[in-house]
Structure 1
Amino acid sequence: METASAEIPDSPGLNRRSLLRGGAVAGLGVLMSSSSVFAAPDKAVAGGPEPSADGLMLTKFKDPLRTPPVLRPRDRGGHDELTVRMRTADVTVHSELPPVRMWTYEGSHPGPTIETVRGRRLRVVWENHLTGNIPVTAVEFGQPGGPMSDPLSNYPGAQGCQEVAGVAGLEPWAAVHLHGMLTGGGNDGWMENLVGPGEVQLSAYPNDQAATLWYHDHTHHVSRFSVYAGLAGLFVSRNAEERALDLPKGRHEVPLVLSDRNFALDDSGALTGRLVHKVEMVGTTLMRAHAAPYTLVNGVVWPYLEVQPRWYRFRIVNAANSRIYRLMLLADGRPVPGAFQVIGTDQGLIDKPLPVDGALNLSPGERADVLVDFSAFRGRSLKLVNTMEGVTPGGSSTRHDLLEPDVMQFRVASSGSAGRFTPPRTLSPTFKRPALHDLPHDSRSRWVVLVGPGSANVPELWEMEEMEQTDAKGITFPSAGIVQVKDAEGTVRTLRRTAMHYDDGNAFTVAHHGVEIWKYLNLAASPHPMHIHLAHFHVLSRENYNVTGFDRAVRGSVRPIAFLGAAELEPHELGEKDTVRVGTAGQIAPGPNGTPGELVTVAVRFPVVGRGVHHCHMLEHEQHMVRPLVVGPAAHWHAGGHH
């Protein structure tokens, strides 16, 4: 468990004894220690600690997986209430590493798992008790001529790096976003509505979902540092439909919150535990996606979990800044076919279990609810690893920030009952995946084009509008901000950029309860996880496109971006979602156009109103690839004759 900083005393009414007792805490709801809920089996005969990759120093699989405590709200009659405190704490993430100073929710990383019941409206008081400047040292490095073959981000310490100006003095402002919660803009954790130490954010959530969500800081411009500092936690809402399935529960239902971190070194070369946010710069201002060498699961570096030879349920969240996790389960170094049975996506259960063929790809912000059967592995150990296409599963690739591919170890007991559970054939009888003919005929189409670095050397998000053919005839190609797309039927559409920067104006304005078709076209070399606030969606299709017709210097297409073929959606993309990866996951390809472009089409529903945003959930891209979004009652747009 965490070790509270001596400088940060417990607030009155909440101390370590009351947390572990699991009793009621006045004004805070009920916080339950989870160590007994997810206790390990009595006996495991396989597995054990292993050395990590050269230069990383910490032993893998030495520490058990820690499950965050569970925080349940108090019943206030017509609604539930909860208070969650942000506080600075020293957190143990590995037994061979000094405690790590973090900004946390309730003193733990991840924060407590907030567990609720669907249909119970929830009010949360997010109290800011954070102290000191941000506990992160931000550095960058680079060399002339392009990316390094073995970048410094693979290793701890800041040697060979420059400190990033303006980060060390960041004060503890905060804005809490409950990611995936369908709530109005006034309660969504708007990224500029900050609360400082001693202040509170009051949020009311309809809580009309049964899903795995997560909460994290969303402070504009600095979320890549504040989330890295530790401000993230899990949120689970249950309903009667889920309870009736008799899925694995108690110690057999385990959250897995994935992230990566790096740490500083002292003068002797020993790890200090100080968080280091390290990125590679290509040229002077182009930042590669953040990647760190130490993988944390539930805040523990490379943990192990002792399991019984039976079915388990894992709620997996990618809470990393930018890393995409391509997860495989290995036994004796070989992938276990169909190891993951997906039963739920970002927004809840799907209709039936779906086996994963190959890797389970989760980009930042995405969640997957999966079942795993350990009954065939009595007395053996398995590894959960991160992989890349072109690299043998379990192998490393320093060039692609995969020095240490291991995520965690499972140690399967040699004895014990396998139980009587079998995955239900039907999970959610109310789930229905829409087809195009199910959508309203007047559904509006939006185009969002994701573009590689331009003159400012940062990735760009372009909002586009489709031009009439007569208007497009006089255009000379290439022209800045003009992209032509040739679809599977051979139809050529001409798109004109309408906005790019956060403050460009002309925000997407959407009708409350409206349904729209959003088309995300990725012209960049890297994938981007796209997240829409105030909404949920179904992914309709994923298609490959030839993007070599895009002129990166002029910032427009020389010839149409042309359809190549349809691509398959993955099992965790077949349910309701709020975040989707646009671009090929984990593919190693040479050159800026080596990775095929992708067009991902989603059907978006807007059940709540207010001002929100849509953005890339790679946090290092967020401040550049973010645009406002406004959802309002359609009748208001025309009231009194105004438009």
Structure 2
Amino acid sequence: MEPTHAEENDGTGLNRRDLIRAGTIVGLGALVTSVPLFAKSPAAAAAAPGGPEPSAPELKLTKFKDPLRIPPVLRPREHGGHDELTVRLRTADVTVHSELPPVTMWTYEGAYPGPTIETVSGRPLRVAWENQLTGSIPVTAVDFGQAKGPLPDPLSNYPGTEGCQEVAGVSALAPWAAVHLHGMLTGGGNDGWMENLIAPGEVQLSAYPNKQAATTLWYHDHTHHVSRFSVFAGLAGMFVSRNAEERALNLPKGEQDVPLILADRNFAADASGALTGRLLHKVEMVGAQRLMRAHAGPYTLVNGVVWPYLKVEPRWYRFRIVNTANSRMYRLMLLADGRPVAGAFQVIGGDQGLLDKPVPVDGALNLSPGERAEVLVDFSAFRGQALKLVNTLQGVTPGASDKRNDLLEPDVMQFRVVDRKPNTKFTLPAALSPTFKRVTDADLPQGHPTRWIVVAGPGSGNLPELWEMEEVDAAGLTFPSAGIVQVQDAQGAVKTLRRTAMAYDDGNALTASQHGVEVWKYLNLAAAPHPMHIHLAHFQVLSRENYDVTGFDRVARGSTRPVAFKAASVLEAHELGEKDVIRVGTAGQITPGPNGTPGELVTVVVRFPVVGRGVHHCHMLEHEQHMVRPLVVSPAAHLHAGGHH
């Protein structure tokens, strides 16, 4: 995101662009002021359609009343052979809607989302993350539920705490922090290890090699056990790296290169029902076992604004979309006159950079927590019209609500296309990154390790589980047995898998060799999809396959008969590139009943270029404390030195 005109002059008489060109911009704690997009652009002055709309009456806020904000931009300063930057964690009052009191949040540099850190790929970066947070966490955590099962219209659809009970131990949480630059390939000592916390007044020093393709990453708090609350409190921001390959494409830039940082929130209310602006983490506990449903807030925020609008010109735009929600998956569609716009999104990149060519989206763009997608959208056919970006569910009319599935208000934001002659200077390129290559089975080295990771539904602890598995001989085993899963592949061959670990502190960490290549097979036996994230590594997705998982006994926690291949599935556009998060499980509406949605087997090829101690885990933050396992990457020679293994 290049600075807008309003960002150019900081009031000191110094022009930031001149300083940037001279390589002398102050990056250590200095940042550009956050402003609405197009603060001084001609499009803002031109007439545009659309306008505010009422939301669901219970939500009390007007949709599309406030303009989209663009996060401030931070650029590091050069220091010899590397760049340096200081980012301060600060408690601040943030305006997220003009009809809502300012919201107290934990932030990076006083902004939510935090400033966009913009770098040049290949320039090593050192960041000092200074913890200047004050006060206890600015979040009220509550839950609700009934013994007989889920509610048809859960209270999480609405603001306020009526009918809820407070979750013990949250309100007094002190501002410890651990910053993770999600998707950056850096050693374990710089990755933001979730137990290496910094207190107020302390500094986390992280060195990032930044040897990656031009891409969109994000940074967030990773404090062990409580990240679902600390990220919810506001500790998230975007990271962008650029390179010559990307610039040569002449993609939309400046005001046409727009971040869309998605999140959902809920807010407390006073005795009269008026919203107070206090952040409210509110979840449903289902049945007598009190199974926690995934968090879902009724208010959608884009760049920290509730249901914003954006004035656009009739031309191509580049949108960098990041799902920073705790657990909500966004199935995004663009509507014109209430109908989906066919092929609205041309996906040009995913988690880790550009694809080899643009890929149109047929249907919804599905982004699970932690995932990113870069898309191009052409507004030239919609001059003088208003369009909506909506979140939808499979089987639900796009733009319609679904209270049972946490979709009371499906609208995300509004685009107002000014009525002027379209700008036709940009042409969609036929090719994008010449250096990107899709991995195939033929590219895998002989003898590569294969790991099985099973996602199981709630067990005796009433929580979803993440199982690491090993292949064993079935001889002498009885079925069902806890932790024993048999899998029948497309050729009819049956493998028997035995659980080796599932809790965070179960035995040894999974260990990989630096520069090694492994195949990981994620098998989802649960009803809900889970976004799986691997630290210290990147991967590509080889395949998605549907499996019949009715042979898995959820009570016995093992197979009565093999879970069996049903059919191959199709990878989505943003899943064709380099990844660090992958959704395992169908993206559609969860089907009630004992078997839920069909099981999925997702196969990925993982590479480990850096060393250190990290983790692999589910990126639904409500699952992060129990669906997480240690991961260690070591130099290959160290693994076998002196005859030890």
TM-score range, shorter chain: over 0.9
The partner residue of 1:459 within 464, 472, 476 is 464
- 1:67-86, aligned counterparts within 5 Å? 67-86=70-89
Matched, 1:400 2:402: no
- Map of 1:319 onto structure 2: 324
Deviation at 1:228, TM superposition (A): 0.1
Which of 291-300 and 20-29 deviates more? 20-29
* Contact kept? 2:36, 2:70, Cα under 8 Å: no
- 1:384-423, aligned counterparts within 5 Å? 384-423=389-428
* Contact kept? 1:484, 1:561, Cα under 8 Å: yes
Rounded Cα–Cα distance in structure 2 between residues aligned with 1:101 and 1:30 = 22
Matched, 1:187 2:203: no
Deviation at 1:507, TM superposition (A): 1.4
- Map of 1:491 onto structure 2: 493
Rounded Cα–Cα distance in structure 1 between residues aligned with 2:592 and 2:199 = 46
Q: Any idea what the Cα deviations from partners look like across 1:27-72, whole Å, max 9, x if unmatched?
A: 6165223538754512132100000012000000000000001100
Matched, 1:286 2:288: no
Q: Any idea what the Cα deviations from partners look like across 1:552-607, whole Å, max 9, x if unmatched?
A: 11100100000000000000000000000000113241213130000000000000
Matched, 1:154 2:154: no
- Map of 2:62 onto structure 1: 59
Secondary structure of 1:516 counterpart: strand
- Map of 1:32 onto structure 2: 32
Secondary structure of 1:268 counterpart: coil
Kindly provide the amino acid, as one letter, of the partner of residue 557 in structure 1.
Answer: S
- Map of 2:220 onto structure 1: 216
Rounded Cα–Cα distance in structure 2 between residues aligned with 1:366 and 1:415 = 35
Give every structure 1 segment of 4 or more consecutive aligned residues whose post-TM-superposition deviation is greater than 6 Å. Answer: 16-21
Rounded Cα–Cα distance in structure 2 between residues aligned with 1:563 and 1:266 = 53
Deviation at 1:285, TM superposition (A): 3.3
* Contact kept? 2:26, 2:76, Cα under 8 Å: no
Matched, 1:366 2:381: no
Deviation at 1:310, TM superposition (A): 0.2
- Map of 1:6 onto structure 2: none
Secondary structure of 2:59 counterpart: coil
Matched, 1:331 2:336: yes
Matched, 1:307 2:309: no
Secondary structure of 1:576 counterpart: coil
For normalisation by structure 1, the TM-score amounts to 0.95
Matched, 1:109 2:112: yes
Rounded Cα–Cα distance in structure 2 between residues aligned with 1:287 and 1:402 = 18
Deviation at 1:436, TM superposition (A): 0.3
The partner residue of 1:246 within 236, 244, 250 is 250
- Map of 1:272 onto structure 2: 276
- 1:17-28, aligned counterparts within 5 Å? 28=28
* Contact kept? 1:29, 1:73, Cα under 8 Å: no
Kindly provide the amino acid, as one letter, of the partner of residue 293 in structure 1.
Answer: P
For normalisation by structure 2, the TM-score amounts to 0.95
1:238–1:553 distance in 2 versus 1, CA, 3 Å: same
Deviation at 1:639, TM superposition (A): 1.5
Q: Any idea what the Cα deviations from partners look like across 1:170-220, whole Å, max 9, x if unmatched?
A: 000000000000000000000000000000000000001121000000000
Deviation at 1:443, TM superposition (A): 1.3
Rounded Cα–Cα distance in structure 1 between residues aligned with 2:57 and 2:112 = 27
* Contact kept? 2:48, 2:311, Cα under 8 Å: no
1:18–1:201 distance in 2 versus 1, CA, 3 Å: farther
Rounded Cα–Cα distance in structure 2 between residues aligned with 1:406 and 1:34 = 24
Rounded Cα–Cα distance in structure 2 between residues aligned with 1:612 and 1:594 = 32
Q: Any idea what the Cα deviations from partners look like across 1:9-33, whole Å, max 9, x if unmatched?
A: xxxxxxx967998577756165223
Q: Any idea what the Cα deviations from partners look like across 1:598-628, whole Å, max 9, x if unmatched?
A: 0000000000000000000000001010000
Rounded Cα–Cα distance in structure 1 between residues aligned with 2:479 and 2:91 = 55
* Contact kept? 2:528, 2:590, Cα under 8 Å: no
- Map of 2:567 onto structure 1: 565
- Map of 1:9 onto structure 2: none
- 1:459-478, aligned counterparts within 5 Å? 459-468=464-473, 472-478=474-480
Rounded Cα–Cα distance in structure 2 between residues aligned with 1:437 and 1:417 = 46
* Contact kept? 1:30, 1:74, Cα under 8 Å: no
* Contact kept? 2:145, 2:290, Cα under 8 Å: no
Structure 2 unmatched runs, 5+? 1-9
Secondary structure of 1:518 counterpart: strand
* Contact kept? 1:279, 1:288, Cα under 8 Å: yes
Rounded Cα–Cα distance in structure 2 between residues aligned with 1:396 and 1:138 = 25
